[in-house]
Amino acid sequence: MATKVYIENLSTHVGENITLQGWLYNARSSGKIKFLLLRDGTGVCQGVIVKAVVGEEMFNRCDQLTQESSFKMSGTVRAEQRAPGGYEMDVTNIEIISVAKEYPITPKEHGVEFLADRRHLWLRSSRQHAIMRVRHEIIRSIREFFDGRGFTLLDAPIFTPAACEGTSTLFETEYFDLGKAFLTQSGQLYGEAGAMSLGKVYVFGPTFRAEKSKTRRHLTEFWMVEPEVAFNDLNDNMDLAEEFLEHIVTSVLKNRMPELKVLERNIKFLENVKRPLPRVTYDEAVEILHSKGLPFEWGNDLGGTDETVISEQFDRPVMVHRYPAAIKAFYMKRDPNNDKLALAVDVLAPEGYGEIIGGSQREDDYDTLLARLKEHNLPQEAFDWYLDLRRFGSVPHAGFGLGIERTVSWICGLDHVRETIPFPRMIYRLTP
Ligand code: 4AD
Ligand code: MG
C-alpha cells in the first residue's frame, strides 16, 4: 500500500500515489465509472473508479460498499475545483475493511429524538462533525488565551462537600462513611484558593446541575471554564471577559470557516465581537425593558425573553453588571455605593442566545462573608476552609465562568445546546 494520508493534507500530495482510509459517505455510479465519497474525519474526498482501469472484479466489489462501510482506497491525487474538498483521486485499488449493514441514519430527514437515541452514530454526520470541530477550536483557543497570559490551570474536584450555586440544583450521592457528597456546580471556590496561591488561575472541567427545566439552554452536565484573579476588581473582570470573548471568536473565524459554512452560520454578528463590548447596569437594562413595553419589576432576575430583548439593542455581546444582590450568589461582593447591588456581571450573547458568562468580584471580608453564609442558610463547617481564604491574607479578587455549550450553541448558531456536546445529559436523557 502507498503512503497513508489524511484528506486535510491532500494539497501536499497532488500527483502522488497515496492511500486514504475511512468510511463511505456516498456513492454513485454511471455505467463504467463509479464515484465513492470517502470521509476520514478530516474531510471528504471523491474517488473515481473506472472499470477499464481497475478491472471488472474490483469494479463490482465496490457495490458491497454501503453507507458507512469502512475501506481504504489508493490512487493518484488530482486537484479538481468541482469536487467536494477540491481534490479527487483516480483510484487504482479498493480494500474493504468492514461492510456496514443498514446504517440507520440516511440522508433523508430524521426526527431529533431518533437521532439523539443514535447520538453515537449521529456524530458522524457532517453538521455534527462541524459542531465538534468548532467546539474543539473554542476549547483550544480558551487554553491558548489563559496559557499565554500567565494563568495556571487548577483542576477542581468534582465530588464536593457543599453547594456553590444554590441548593436547588445539587446532585447528591452517598460518600462512604462521610455522608453526602455533591457533584460540583462550579469550581469557583477552589479557583479562589488557587488564585491566593498562584495569582491567576483557571479551572476547566465538567459541572453538574440538577436543572429540572426543559429549555434549549440547559444541560445537567456541562463544561465551564472559570478564571479567577487575585487583586482584580469588577472592572478588571469585565476587561478580561471582553478580551477573552474576542479571542475565542477571532480564533473560530480564523480556523474553522469551512465548518461555519457547513452550518450555514451567518457570521455577521461574530465579526462584530471586538472590544470594547457595551456595558450596561442592571438598572439601565430594566429601563431598556420598560422602554420596550415589558412589565418587568426591579429586583427580579432577567428571564430568557428579557435577555433577548436587551441583547437585541446591541450588535455584539453585552455586559450587564450590578444586579440586585438578593438574586445573586452568597459569595458576591456588594457595591460599596449601594448595598442592594452585587458587583456581578453577566455577559449576554447576541441573537437571543442569552447568558454565556456569569461572574463577580468576590466578598473578601471575613465577617461579611460569614454573615452571608448564615443569610443563605449554608452550613458554616463546610465552608470553613473557604473562610480561611479571608482569615489569611485576604485580597480583592474576581472571576467568572463561561459555559462551553452555550458558547458553542451561539457561535454555531444552533437551536439547542443538545448538539453542542458529544453526549448530552438532560432531565430526560441519560443515553447513549
Ligand atoms: O452563572 P453561573 O451559575 O456562574 C457560576 O457558576 C460561577 N461560579 C462562575 C464563576 O464566577 N466562576 O454559570 C456560569 C455559566 C453561565 O453563564 C452559562 O453559560 C453556563 O455557566 N451554565 C450552563 N450551561 C448549560 N447548562 C446549564 N444548566 C448551565 N448553567 C450555567
Ligand atoms: Mg448565571
User: 371: Cβ–Cβ under 8 A, 6 or more apart, which residues?
Assistant: none
In angstroms, rounded to a whole number, what is the distance separating the alpha carbons of residues 139 and 129?
16
CA of 357 to the centre of ligand 2 (A): 7
Here the cell at position 383 is: 465552608
CA of 360, closest atom in ligand 1: 11
Q: What is the mean pLDDT of residues 250-269?
A: 97
What pLDDT score does 85 carry? 84
Quickly count: other Cβ atoms within 10 Å of residue 271's Cβ: 12
The pLDDT tens digits of the residues spanning 349-380 come to: 999 999 999 999 999 999 999 999 999 999 99
Q: Which domains does the chain have, with CATH numbers?
A: 3-98 (2.40.50.140), 119-419 (3.30.930.10)
Closest listed ligand to the CA of 219: 1
> How close is the Cα of 309 to the center of ligand 2, in Å?
17
Q: What share of the chain is helix, strand, coil (3-state, %, to 5)?
A: 35, 30, 35
* CA–centroid distance, residue 59 to ligand 1 (Å): 55
- Residues of the chain with pLDDT > 70: what percent? 100
d(CA 276, CA 274): 6
pLDDT of residue 420: 98
Give pLDDT tens digits for 411-425: 999 999 999 999 999
Q: How many A from CA of 359 to the centre of ligand 2?
A: 7
Pocket lined around ligand 1, Cβ cut-off 6 Å: 164-165, 186, 188, 209, 211, 218-219, 222, 224, 226, 355-359, 399-401, 403, 405-406, 417
Atom 30 of ligand 1 has which residue's CA nearest to it? 218
The C-alpha R_g of the chain, in whole angstroms, comes to: 26
Ligand nearest to the CA of 332: 1
Q: Which residues of 327-343 are buried (b: 16+ CB within 10 A; e: fewer)?
A: ebbbbbbbbeeeeebbb
Written as one letter, the residue type at 284 is E
- Among candidates 172, 260, 227, 179, which has minimal Cα distance to 401? 227
Report which bound ligand comes closest to the CA of 401: 1
Task: Put residue 221 in one of left, alpha, beta given phi > 0 → left and psi -120 to 50 → alpha.
Answer: beta
**Mean pLDDT score, 201-206:** 98
Task: Name the residue type at position 10.
Answer: L
Q: At what angle do helices 384-391 and 188-198 cross, to 10 degrees?
A: 30
**How confident is the prediction for the chain on average, in pLDDT?**
96
How far, in Å, is the centroid of ligand 2 from the Cα of 211? 13
Q: How many CB atoms lie within 10 A of CB 398?
A: 29
What pLDDT is recorded for position 1? 61
Report the nearest-CA residue for atom 1 of ligand 1: 358
pLDDT at position 184 is: 98
Nearest of 234, 248, 156 to residue 201 by alpha carbon: 156
Tell me which of 222, 328, 332, 348 to substitute to probe ligand 1's pocket, judged by most ligand atoms within 8 Å of the beta carbon.
222
Give the CA distances from residue 371 to residues 131, 361, 375, 383, in Å, rounded to whole numbers and listed in that order: 45, 17, 6, 12
226 CA from centroid of ligand 2 (Å): 12
146 pLDDT band, cuts 50/70/90, is very high
* Segment among 83-87, 98-102, 312-316 with least mean pLDDT: 83-87
Atom of ligand 1 nearest to the CA of 211: 28
Measured from the alpha carbon of residue 229, the closest ligand is: 1
Alpha-carbon dihedral 190, 424, 347, 140, rounded to 10 degrees: 70
SS3 249: helix
Closest ligand 1 atom, residue 356 Cα: 19
Which atom of ligand 1 is least distant from the CA of 355? 17
Q: Closest ligand 1 atom to the C-alpha of 227?
A: 12
Best residue for ligand 1 mutational test, from 142, 170, 186 (most atoms within 8 Å of Cβ): 186
> In the 8-state DSSP scheme, what is residue 426?
B
- Please tell me the distance from the alpha carbon of residue 287 to that of residue 284, in angstroms, as a whole number: 5
- 215-240 per-position pLDDT tens digit: 999 999 999 999 999 999 999 999 99
Cα separations in angstroms, 305 against 310, 317, 328, 354, 368:
9, 16, 19, 9, 34
Kind of pairing, strands 200-208 and 44-50?
Answer: unpaired
Mean per-residue pLDDT for 97-101?
A: 98
Residue of 407, 396, 217, 202 whose CA lies nearest to 317: 407
